[in-house]
Amino acid sequence: MKYSILDLEKKQGDVIPIDESLDIKESLLARTNDVLDVLGKSRVTGTLVPSKTEYLLNFKATTEIVMPSSRSLEPVTFDFEIEVSEVMMTQDQYAAKDDTTPDEEIILIEEDHIDLVQAVADNVVLNLPLRILTPEEELSDEMPSGNGWVVLSEADLAAHEEEVKQDNNPFAALKGMFEDDKN
């Protein structure tokens, strides 16, 4: 779904409702190798508000994504939902802007339209979870291991480091030898 800048200039001040089913699969898979598949279309609802100084795009997108488990690389399907608010400006609007909106929050419109598929795909990539587990992996505390290696949780690592620290202490043998008798 694309919104022409020329058409949006005629609707300044209007609230344009967004209620679309978009196919973001091709766009999303081209942006990242972290996603294995997108199942079905993405549901996008929200508003686009054009004004003389900017374009405000607010939307909620929901979709079903398949990613590899961060532990076993098995495919994991999960529901994904994001809420996004973006401030977009053309080159002319950006040149005439005041300092109330930080530059980091502005997305420059480089073409003659606002592409909703691109906006949704960009924000999905930015919000992908780093840790994905299969349902079995979520229920189990077992970590992957192999020949001569094992993955440790942070708690196990801290306990192991404390154990190594105590074993390497040259004064550990003296512990308990100089305790005072208080009888």
Residue 172 reports pLDDT greater than 70: no
Burial class of residue 167 in the structure, from the number of CB atoms within 10 Å of its CB (0-12 exposed, 13-18 middle, 19+ buried): exposed
What is the reported pLDDT for 166? 66
Q: How far apart are CA 46 and CA 29, in angstroms?
A: 24
Which residue, among 84, 55, 78, 83, has the nearest Cα to 65 in the 3D structure? 78
- The tens digit of pLDDT for each residue in 146-169 reads 788 877 778 888 887 887 776 666
Q: How far apart are CA 35 and CA 57, in angstroms?
A: 25
Residue 121 reports pLDDT greater than 70: yes
Strands 106-108 and 75-89, by their bridges, are parallel
In degrees rounded to 5, what are phi and psi of residue 157? -65, -45
24-38, 92-106, 119-133, 158-172 — which is least confidently predicted?
158-172
Q: How far apart are CA 137 and CA 12, in angstroms?
A: 51
Q: How far apart are CA 177 and CA 23, in angstroms?
A: 73
- The tens digit of pLDDT for each residue in 56-106 reads 999 999 999 999 998 888 999 999 999 999 988 888 888 887 777 777 778
Percent of the chain whose predicted confidence (pLDDT) is above 90: 41
SS3 39: strand
How many Cβ atoms sit within 10 Å of the Cβ of residue 50?
Answer: 23
Specify whether the CB–CB gap between 97 and 89 falls below 8 A. yes
CA torsion 170-174-175-180 (nearest 10°) is -150
